[in-house]
Amino acid sequence: MIFPLSLCVAENLSHFILTPLKARLRRKAREIEVERPLYPLSFNGRHRSNLWRQQIAKRLQTAPRDVAWAHGEIFRVVSDHTEGKIKNILESDVLRTAGALSLLGLQLGPYVGRFYDCDPSHFQFLNLLPYACPVEIKKHSRDFKYQMLRYKPLPRAVILCVDDNLVNRPSHIDVLELRELCRYLSETLGKG
């Protein structure tokens, strides 16, 4: 069991988030530092979350064919959005990656198209408990500005998009960019 020794307090309007910085294992004198990741659910051109990288490495060890299939599905969607051959693709088209993402650890909730699009969604990484978090579907992350102005801030929310181009995102907003995830999967599978 871990006992927190020092805490970091983050104030976000109407709630506080306590994050342990150091801990001591039961019956041990030695303290351990606990990593406080910034954007723990993000995977984009600016930040590749340690959680995502560890989860993908674990899935590559346990189910490499699933990871290869997931890469193919994500690649297909990213290609459709970036080649420009098909016009007027709706943002909901990003949901074609739901099966692939579930193999990698993100279980999207039902797409309701109101408030946050897929709420609740669940992240299941490594041996950690499932983490419920709303996911907003966008073609471009900059289109999330509407939600930032109109919706009540949550402890954490994730933007699932093809392109990450939101410049100044709040600290409680993670971005899962399919283009960068596809690029990383290509590298790890040796297809880059």
* In the predicted structure, residue 61 carries a pLDDT above the cut 90: yes
User: What is the Cα–Cα distance from 67 to 18, expressed in whole angstroms?
Assistant: 34
Contact by Cβ (8 Å): 89, 80: yes
pLDDT tens-digit readout, 92-121? 999 999 999 999 999 999 999 778 889 889
Burial of 8 (0-12, 13-18, 19+ CB in 10 A): exposed
- Provide mean pLDDT across the span 74-92: 87
- For residues 17 and 5, is the Cβ–Cβ distance under 8 A? no
Mean pLDDT of 146-158: 70
When pLDDT is averaged across residues 155-165 and rounded to a whole number, the result is 88
Residue 7 scores a pLDDT above 70 = no
- Percentage of the chain exceeding pLDDT 70: 81
> What average pLDDT is seen over the chain?
83
C-alpha distances in angstroms, 96 versus 81, 118, 124, 128? 12, 14, 20, 26
pLDDT of residue 145: 64
Instruction: Tell me if residue 109 falls in helix, strand or coil.
Output: coil
| Residue 11 predicted with pLDDT over 60 | no
The more confident residue out of 115 and 23 is: 115
Return the number of other C-beta atoms located less than 10 Å from residue 76's C-beta: 14
Q: Say if CB 151 and CB 115 are below 8 A apart.
A: yes
